[in-house]
Amino acid sequence: MPIEALKNRLPAFAKDVKLNLSSMLSDETLPTQQRYGLFLACAIATRNADVIRAFEVLAREHLSPQALDASRAAAVMMAMNNIYYRFVHLSSNKAYETKPARLRMNVIANPGVDKADFELWSLAVSAINGCGKCIDAHDKVLRDAGVNEDAIQNGVRYAAIIQSVAVSLEAAEATASFAQAAE
């Protein structure tokens, strides 16, 4: 599904989401690889098949196969890490902080793309998944690498917009289902 078709499916009550999506797609403040990898990683994190397909098509136009895989890897690694580290962070039993995670995460050390790109994608996915411990860790790595706060904030803003697209589509589908059931 092309991105324009996705935009056209957004319901009237999501007018602001549609405007934000258009603005995000035309914003070129981040480098191309960083931007399109971010779009794809965040789309995967929404778990919405239509959103994933639309952003996959868009990302394929701008990313190498290696960058596509790294973006996907950021999304799936954070799906695992965000659960684990959110648990560690939220648990009142602080003993979990001293235990090894024992989770394979080799791709984080060698993602196949610029480390800062991968870290920004991981941070944005961590924001969608709500893991404060991971957000702090990725933010620190990015700032230590010289990535400025505006770029980091932009990445999280993109994550928020992509998540809102998925929620808007799901809300519209639920509304349509309720209306059909009432007939």
Amino acid at 117: D
Active site residue 134: yes
3-state SS class at 135: helix
Rounded Cα gap, residues 113 and 71, in angstroms: 9
Active site residue 42: no
The secondary structure element, H or E, covering residue 85 is helix 65-90
Of the residues 6, 131, 162, 169, only one is catalytic, namely 131
Tokens read off for 117: 């790109």
Instruction: Please say whether the beta carbons of 24 and 6 come within 8 A.
Output: no
Q: For residue 104, give the DSSP letter.
A: -
Instruction: Please say whether the beta carbons of 123 and 104 come within 8 A.
Output: no
Of the residues 51, 134, 141, 165, only one is catalytic, namely 134
Cα-only R_g, the chain: 17
Active site residues: 131, 134
